[in-house]
Amino acid sequence: MSVKTEVDEAALTAAGNSVYVYEAPVRAWHWINVLCIITLSITGWFIASPLPSVSGEASENFLMGYIRFAHFAAGYVFAVGLLVRLYWAFVGNHHAKQLFILPVTDSKWWAGMFKEIRWYLYLEKQPNKYIGHNPLGHLFMFFAITLGGTFMLVTGFALYGEGAQEGHWSHWLFTSWVIPLFGQSQDVHTWHHFIAWGIVVFVILHVYTAIREDIMSRQTMISAMIDGKRTFRE
């Protein structure tokens, strides 16, 4: 399966400078992920470093319980989202596949990546036009969301399965092999926590580059994730 992303100028002119790229499920997934990642990051932080103690009887309070519930619920939504998104890669349009495939054997893709890096180092006057992700964005997206998200789900559900215990699907599917693979539970916690920071860093870069490209590149970015249309300009 190849991923063709570069602009076919002739086709574009015929279509009138605007291409429908992100179908509704992809856009919905994106914004659901935004909510999930915000919820997961904040609740995750407070699971590792809990808030100051609440007063009163333990039986009258459930703060840590609610924080953990929010984390687990958002984790489930994120998991279902990624599975549906994977399904959509098969049934959706051509661009829906891009997130799951890195065209590492394509020399044009690498050339595009270097041009993009030069563009970010202010060494290029103009970036290339891309209908889907540009190669650099594609690379980051693949490592942060496809791989990073999968890693967080696997380790996350492995930790969840420890509490759910044997007999629960998450214990059977993840805990039973992830914990022995890492050696012990504490390591899984540490790496889950560490990669979470990786995703936070990705979010910072993603938001910045999306806004920057929207202003400075030759194509729309933010509105493309709202109405799904990529519009090009000179």
Partner 1 sequence: MSTETFYEVMRRQGISRRSFLKFCSLTAASLGLAPTMAPQIAHAMETKPRTPVIWLHGLECTCCSESFIRSAHPLAKDVVLSMLSLDYDDTLMAAAGHQAEEIIAEIRKKYKGNFILAVEGNPPLNEDGMFCIHGGRPFVEVLKETAADAKAIISWGACASWGCVQAAKPNPTRATPVHKVITDKPIIKVPGCPPIAEVMTAVVTYMLTFDRIPELDRQGRPKMFYGQRIHDKCYRRPHFDAGQFVEEWDDEAARKGYCLYKMGCKGPTTYNACSTVRWNGGVSFPIQSGHGCIGCSEEGFWDKGGFYERVTDIKQFGVESNADAVGGTVAGIAGAAVVAHAAVSALTKARDKNDQSKGGK
Q: Which residues bind partner 1 (CB under 8 A)?
A: 48-54, 57-65, 67, 120, 122, 125, 162-163, 165-166, 176-177, 179-180, 183-187, 189-190, 193-194, 196-198, 200-201, 204-205, 208, 212, 215-216
Minimum CB distance to partner 1, residue 41 (Å): 10
The smaller minimum CB distance to partner 1, of residues 95 and 192, is found at 192
Shortest Cβ 85–partner 1 spacing (Å):
25
> Are 17 and 231 a contacting pair, CB within 8 Å?
yes
Shortest CB 143 distance to partner 1, Å? 14
Nearer to partner 1, 31 or 69 (CB): 69
Closest by CA position to 178, among listed 164, 192, 197: 192
C-beta of 16 vs 233, nearer to partner 1: 233
Neighbours of 179 (CB within 10 A): 20
Dist. CA 39–CA 119, nearest whole Å: 33
Closest by CA to 37, choosing from 129, 148, 172, 125, is: 148
d(CA 215, CA 212): 5
Residue (116 or 162) nearer to partner 1, CB = 162
Please, is 170 exposed, middle or buried when counting C-beta atoms within 10 Å of its C-beta (0-12, 13-18, 19+)? buried
Cβ-based nearer residue to partner 1, 87 or 208 = 208
- Taking the least distance from each CB to partner 1, the nearer of 108 and 118 is 118
Shortest Å distance, C-beta 167 to partner 1: 11
DSSP 3-state assignment of 18? strand
Residues 6 or more apart whose Cβ sits within 8 Å of residue 49:
none
Q: How far is the CB of 16 from partner 1 (least distance, A)?
A: 26
Give the shortest CB-203-to-partner 1 separation in angstroms. 9
**How many other CB atoms are found less than 10 A from the CB of residue 127?**
19
**One-letter amino acid of 212:** R
